[in-house]
Structure 1
Amino acid sequence: MNELERDYEPVLLAEHEGPCISIYQPTHRTFPDRKQDPIRFGGLLREVEASLARQHADRETEAILRPLRELAEDDQFWNHTLDGIAVFATPDLFRVYDLQRAVTEKAIVADSFHTKPLMRILQSADRYHVLGLNRHEASLFEGNRYALDPVPFGDGFPGTNEALVGTREGEPERTKRAHGPAGPGRTTRHGMNVRQASRDNDTRQFFRSVSDEVLKTYSRPSGLPLLLAALPEHHHMFREVSDNPFLMDKAINVDPASVSTEELCARAWEIVLPEYLERLERLSEQFGNARADGRGSADLTEIGKAAAAGRIATLLIDADRVVPGHLDPDTGSITYARLEDPGVDDLFDDLGEHTLKAGGDVVVVPPERMPSDTGLAAIFRF
């Protein structure tokens, strides 16, 4: 499974040689509901095949369809999905992403990928990471208010202490040095002290490697808060060696291997919730101050022009609001359309993508926490 966080801008928003296929589908975590998922995917695949036949009748499409057909028959994949999937394919690229939120079912063949639903997921304000840690192994989870799921580590990640430093117990030379030539009573204590110091050093190296890799590969690209789940005696050592600025002050005092994922999620959200609400309150206050100074707006027309000019520093978007229409990327002018027209984009998603491409921040906010009644709140750079 590819990393959506890393791929979103450099891969999915990049230009590709068409045709570009985008498939979104809600999925199910449990049996028997998940039995219907590959059947529904088969229906979406038939829509893709029909679109390719209409739009690209003069092109050979077997290469682009082959991985999609293989996915449709992959029982192992369909038995381990979350709440939704996003699938993207070109003649030279194939990506599948598991999603923690359900998505509207659709299959689109176009000159570029349809990525709007992903922005709503990636920019939601309730997302966080949990790092599970003990002396022997590390595990990473991504969560929101509803779910917590394991994040598969890459090949270079030090998931276990043994993988990083090798088996340290039972090395003859180490045992000889530990016991030395002193008397029997003192030899045992000296040996135990040396062995403990060696274990602590190995643990410290392991924790440092885990922290560095999490920061480089997960925290820095996503900007998500990181919550440590570990026994109390491991918290201090990890914080000594970690320089991850996303690491939260509060933590979960438990070995994650000893509790269920559901319990870990509940305990994590209990800690994250106050931080989440505080962040939303802070953003609301910043918007109010900016609007009072003439550097903020909730007006769609004004925000459209600011997005086209690259002036938006932060854009807050109502998670439940959809406004169908089209944004002119050059002038920022807005054309409204009918909601039932399947070929029309969502203006809010267009504005969000333009803001991200211009280096601004987008935060998807629940409607009850929006500081405006238009569904948008923009803070301008100038």
Structure 2
Amino acid sequence: MNYQIVKEFPHPMMEKGKRPVISIYVDTHIKKPDRLENPIRFKNLVKEAQASLKEKEFKGFKDLFSLFKEMEEDALFWEGATESMAILGDEDECIVYKLPVNVKSLAIVSDSFYIKPLLRSFQSNGHYHVLGLNRDNFVLFEADRYGITEIPVDASDATMEGVLGTEKTAPHLSVASIGGDQSMYHGHGGAKDERKVDQEKFFRHVDTFVLEQYSKKQKIPLILVSPDEHQGEFRKLSKNNFLIDEGIKIDGDSLDKKSLYVKVQDVMQERFKKELKDRMAAFSEAHAKDLGSDDVIQIGRAIVEGKVASLYLEENTVHPGRFDPQLGTVMQGEIADPRVGDVYDDMAEVVLRRGGEVLILGKDEMPTERELAAVYRY
């Protein structure tokens, strides 16, 4: 058995329905000498998982635990440590997420993977395009929580010269005769107007190119990075619905890639905060119309009926027990039982499978005083 480092969430392995499964989260150190503790932490968490398995189940996980031992002793595996890791495995498969946020170290053996920490990591600063635009050229990036990468674009599409070539607007001249054979040439509009026409042609090309080749295919937000004077001009003609209102008014050429990434991350963070405020207001309105709830029993029933559009869960909270995805009932449990599971996590998985969304929020971000809330589709 081998492990696979993945970025996709949810991952197909989570849909297999094998049980039990093992979820291990390691809050890792990045710098030496503390980084040397990471494999030790992992080893101790593996022991916790082993202790949670029933004797008859242990044999089926023999290959996985052998793999865990190899991972523990693999210096290269720990060399590229991020803020934390999520390691999920069943009897025949193992995936690893390297996360850019801190999580609480834990090991859980249950009938489904524990995914709340992953949800928290993936919900903000997700996946987006960044368009760096100047008057006569552009550069395109793809970014996510892991970093930013330039997308290679041929000069024939990325520069005004490549796009317009010999089709650049020629000066408009008229001829007036001054007696005899002498003539005077009058320019209409001049070089300034010609540049404006060419710039508009180029901007329209950029908009169409990015929309057709990237935005329509990946359906992710697009952040515009360009000087202030180009922001309005480009937005006025753009037909790209994925272009977000928040832009960065600066010449992208003045930034190195690291500085650019910091700025676009700030934009996405602010966008996420604004969305949270809007969601709070939407929940209050929905709750008043019986189209939302913060009662765990009512929400459980609504989930199995396919009514839940959005589920909000408070971070670092656990409701010991199990959620029945067929009946929508909640079975209480004792938190001391390592196999009891988390009702909230079970609910989150079902909502995602049914096409809803799940957000993990801080206590002060929740739209209600309770640990969960939901907005219904109808």
- Taking structure 1 as the reference length, the TM-score comes to 0.69
Instruction: Answer yes or no: is the 8 Å Cα contact 1:24–1:106 preserved in 2.
Output: yes
- Residues 188-223 of structure 1: CA distance to partner in whole angstroms, max 9, x if unpaired? xxxxx9xxx8xx97995798358743553462xxxx
How far off its partner does 1:73 sit?
Answer: 0.8
Alpha-carbon distance in 2 for matches of 1:3, 1:160: 22
Unaligned runs of 5+ in 2: 167-193
Does residue 1:353 correspond to 2:349, yes or no? yes
2:311 corresponds to 1:312: no
Corresponding residue number in structure 2 for 1:185: none
Whole-angstrom distance in 2 between the partners of 1:99 and 1:47: 22
Partner Cα separation in structure 1 for residue 295 and residue 139 of structure 2: 50
Q: Secondary structure at the match of 1:279?
A: helix
Which of 347, 351, 358 lines up with 1:362 in the alignment? 358
Hey, what does 1:247 align to over in structure 2? 243
Residues 23 and 88 in structure 1, CA contact (< 8 A), matched pair in contact too: yes
Alpha-carbon distance in 2 for matches of 1:60, 1:377: 36
Deviations 1:321-348 (A, max 9, x none): 4332322223322233333433232322
Superposition deviation, residue 105 in structure 1: 2.0
2:23 paired with 1:27? no
| Structure 2 residue 70 is matched with structure 1 residue 69 | yes
Aligned residue pairs: how many? 345
Q: What's the CA shift for 1:47?
A: 5.2
Between 97-106 and 204-213, report the one with greater CA deviation. Answer: 204-213
Q: How many angstroms apart in 2 are the aligned matches of 1:72 and 1:151?
A: 31
1:213 aligns with 2:210: no
Secondary structure of the structure 2 residue equivalent to 1:36: helix
2:39 aligned with 1:38, yes or no?
yes
Residue 186 of structure 1: aligned partner: none
Query: 1:266: how far off?
Result: 5.3
Closer/same/farther in 2, CA of residues 141 and 335 from structure 1, 3 Å limit: same
Q: Distance in 2 between matches of 1:331 and 1:65?
A: 38
Residue 159 (str. 1) matches residue 151 (str. 2): yes
State the partner residue of 1:115.
115
Q: Assess, with a 3 A threshold, how the Cα gap between structure 1 residues 290 and 203 changes in structure 2: closer, same or farther.
A: closer
Taking the TM superposition and a 5 Å limit, the aligned residue runs for 1:202-351 are 204=205, 208=209, 212-213=213-214, 216-217=217-218, 219=220, 225-230=221-226, 244-254=240-250, 255=252, 258-259=255-256, 261=258, 264-265=261-262, 268-269=265-266, 272-273=269-270, 275-351=271-347
CA RMSD of aligned residues (A): 4.7
Equivalents in 2 of 1:43, 1:321: separation in Å? 23
Contact 2:215 2:242 (C-alpha < 8 Å) held by counterparts: no
Larger Rg: 2
> Per the alignment, do residues 271 and 302 of structure 1 end up closer, same or farther by CA in structure 2, a change over 3 Å counting?
closer
Q: 1:371, 1:266 → 2: CA distance?
A: 28
Deviations 1:200-255 (A, max 9, x none): 97995798358743553462xxxxx4433355687679769976533212211342
SS at match of 2:151: coil
Q: Mean Cα displacement is larger for which, 329-338 or 289-298?
A: 329-338
Instruction: Pick closer, same or farther for the CA change 1:32–1:281 going to 2, 3 Å.
Output: same
Match for residue 139 of structure 1 among 141, 146, 153: 141
Which of 150, 170, 178 is 2:147 aligned to?
150
281-290 vs 203-212, greater mean Cα deviation: 203-212
Aligned residue number for residue 146 of structure 1: none
Distance, in Å, in 2 between the alignment partners of 1:282 and 1:95 is: 35
Structure 1: unaligned runs, 5 residues or longer: 144-148, 153-157, 176-192, 220-224
* Identical aligned residues as a percent: 28
Cα separation, 1, equivalents of 2:339 and 2:58: 21
Task: Report deviation, 1:289.
Answer: 2.0
